[in-house]
Amino acid sequence: MARKKFSCDFETTTKLDDCRVWAYGWMEIGKITNYKIGNNMEEFMEWVEHINSDLFFHNMRFDGEFIVNWLLKNGFEHNDSGLKRTFNTTISNMGQWYVIDICYGYNGNGKQRKKIHTVIYDSLKKLPFPVKKIAKDFKLSILKGDIDYHLERPIGWQITEDERAYILNDIQIVAEALEIQFKQGLDRITAGSDSLKGFKSVISTKMFEKHFPVFSVEMDKELRKYYRGGFTWLHDIMEGKYVGEGIVFDVNSLYPSVMYYKPLPYGEPIFFEGEYEHDEKYPLYMQSMVCRFELKEGYIPTIQKKHQINRFKPNEYLKKDDGEPVDLFVTNIDLEIMKEHYILKDVSYHGGWKFKQKIGLFKDFIDKWMYIKTTSDGAIKQLAKLMLNSLYGKFASNPKVTGKIPYLKSDGSTGYTLPKDDDGNVIEEYKKPIYTPMGVFITSWAR
């Protein structure tokens, strides 16, 4: 029997010295007549104990803090033992919240033994938009309301009708949007995971594994040096100036278009020494190099050094070096643009990785969701856009998953630490990488 799923929400006070939940709401996904709105955190947690279901909070990074703090204060231990009155979390070292799994014990014996647990997820990872935008884009029958967030609400505050309507709308919007996703088979905990699952179903798991081998963590670290994100740049003649209203231009389906039309890597790469030499079988490459550089007049800077903060500002695109040679890790696409935009000096090449290429790896997947996007409206159209735009980033997911562990501080607040061994050294945790070179070249083409 499938586990029930609920959309949940907290309303909290805004004072730093009195930050608490003054209202909660829950609604069953797929059965919106089953809901409750209350003003007591204890009452909510009692319901959590007995519901044995999956709960979704929109932005669990905020709401989850209150749940974890309550658990720690009420005798629950944080570990992955799965024992009664324990809970486990998935919180990245960057503070991204994914899961809170609370164990309340077991029913039955032997093969009939079943875990009694409530699992809490972040719906923002599946629907990465504000609730107001979800309601509008999905063309739901209800819209997000508004309340006075800073109104003084003492303990025991009686929820007004306007506040009740506001909370009800919030949980119903997320409940209806998630129901649509689940009916489409999008049942993973993030949009990226949903998209990757959908891609595998289109090309088959066998073909996926053939094209995208799993690298070791060490190999992934090497290839990840070449990975960069999008391009954002402020022209220095406009820096600090007030310009009034502007115009926004958008490239429709930029990443899907790159994935559809551009040559992209697959398979095992081959290492080469020095400077890359043309290889008909392995035409895509990543090049390690050292050089000095100066921007040509009238050209846009494209060189960025995020990981040398002792020498350069991490988010600044550089016009010239600082008088010393600079280490660079670039794709052949990046290198071609660099040569066009800069005068390169004292160049030396230090090897790299070359790849086979193929155009159309994502054709069937993109054709499927583009058809849905162009022939649908409202929620289904938005889901199609989400599927199309979430896949490329999943390929370059960082395998380093060392998670934060919550603990109760002496003042009653929640603190976070990293897992450590007996000598106090951080225990690094990793998952299998997917295929980072794909993310490297997709973003390189998009820039």
Is the separation of the CB atoms in 57 and 69 below 8 Å? no
The pLDDT of residue 333 is 97
The DSSP result for 98-152, as a single string, is EEEEEEEEEESSGGG-EEEEEEEEEGGGTS-S-HHHHHHHTT-S-------TTS-
| 365 within 8 A of 391, measured Cβ to Cβ | yes
Residue 102 pLDDT: 98
CATH number assigned to the domain comprising residue 73? 3.30.420.10
248-262: pLDDT as tens digits: 888 888 999 999 999
Give the residue from 360, 381, 405 where a domain finishes.
360
Query: Are 13 and 62 contacting, i.e. CB atoms less than 8 angstroms apart?
Result: no
Does one domain contain both 59 and 117? yes
Quickly state the pLDDT bin for 308 (edges 50, 70, 90): low
Pair (179, 211) in one structural domain: no
Which tokens in the block code for residue 67?
Answer: 């749940």
> What is the number of structural domains in the chain?
2
| Percentage of the chain lying above the pLDDT 70 cut | 98
Whether 251 and 133 share a structural domain: no
Contact 7/26 with Cβ under 8 angstroms? Answer: yes
Strand partners, 12: 21
Give the ranges where 342-435 is alpha helix by DSSP (H).
363-375, 378-395
Q: What's the pLDDT tens digit per position in 161-174?
A: 999 999 999 999 99
- Whether 341 has a pLDDT exceeding 90, the answer reads yes
**Residue 144 placed within a domain:** yes
Rounded Cα distance, 157 and 11, in Å? 12
Domain span at 270: 204-360
End-to-end CA distance of the chain: 47
pLDDT confidence band for 307 (50 / 70 / 90): low
**In terms of domains, do 175 and 228 share one?**
no
| 75 belongs to a structural domain | yes
Q: Which two tokens stand for residue 261?
A: 């039309």
Q: To which residue do tokens 């390929």 refer?
A: 395
Does one domain contain both 304 and 210?
A: yes
Q: Which of 441, 229, 258, 230 is nearest to 354 (CA)?
A: 441
Confidence of residue 186 (pLDDT cuts 50, 70, 90): very high
Tokens of 205: 């798991």
Q: By three-state DSSP, how is residue 167 classified?
A: helix
C-alpha pair distances (Å), 62 with each of 96, 234, 326: 10, 32, 41
Model confidence at 146: pLDDT above 80: no
Average pLDDT over residues 56-64: 95
141 and 11 both lie in a single domain: yes
pLDDT of residue 164: 93
Lowest mean pLDDT among 89-93, 167-171, 377-381: 377-381
| 238 and 142 in a common domain | no
* Percent of the chain at pLDDT exceeding 90: 74
218 shares a domain with 138: no
Any idea what the CATH number is for the domain that residue 312 is in? 3.30.1770.10
> Is residue 378 situated within a structural domain?
no
Examine the fold and report which residue of 360, 387, 405 is the final residue of a domain before the chain moves on.
360
Please give the average per-residue pLDDT across 147-172, as a whole number. Answer: 87
The 3-state DSSP class for residue 13 equals coil
**Residue 214 domain flag:** yes
Residue 42 included in any domain: yes
Least confident of 81-85, 131-135, 149-153, 264-268: 149-153
pLDDT in tens, 278-295: 999 999 999 999 999 999
151, 219: one domain: no
Choose one of 329, 360, 391: the last residue of a domain.
Answer: 360
195 pLDDT more than 80: yes
**How far apart are the C-alpha atoms of 286 and 415, rounded to whole Å?**
41
Q: Average pLDDT over the chain, rounded to whole?
A: 92
Same domain, residue pair 148 and 285: no
User: Rounded to an integer, what distance in angstroms lies between the CA atom of residue 335 and that of residue 341?
Assistant: 10
Closest by CA to 303, choosing from 323, 321, 317, 322, is 317
Give the residue with greater pLDDT, 141 vs 423: 423
Does residue 82 register a pLDDT over 80? yes
Whether 229 has a pLDDT exceeding 90, the answer reads no
- Of 139-143, 306-310, 327-331, 410-414, minimum mean pLDDT range: 306-310
Same domain for 178 and 209, yes or no, is no
- Domain presence at residue 102: yes
Q: Are strands 21-28 and 31-38 parallel, antiparallel or unpaired?
A: antiparallel
pLDDT at site 309: 60
Q: What is the per-residue pLDDT across 22-36, written as a single tens digit (0 to 9) for each?
A: 999 999 999 999 999
Please give the Cα distance from 128 to 390 (Å, whole number): 10
Q: Confirm whether 273 is domain-assigned.
A: yes
pLDDT value at 395 more than 90: yes
Co-location of 214 and 291 in the same domain: yes
Given a cut of 90, whether residue 408 has pLDDT beyond it is: yes
Domain membership of residue 251 (yes or no) is: yes
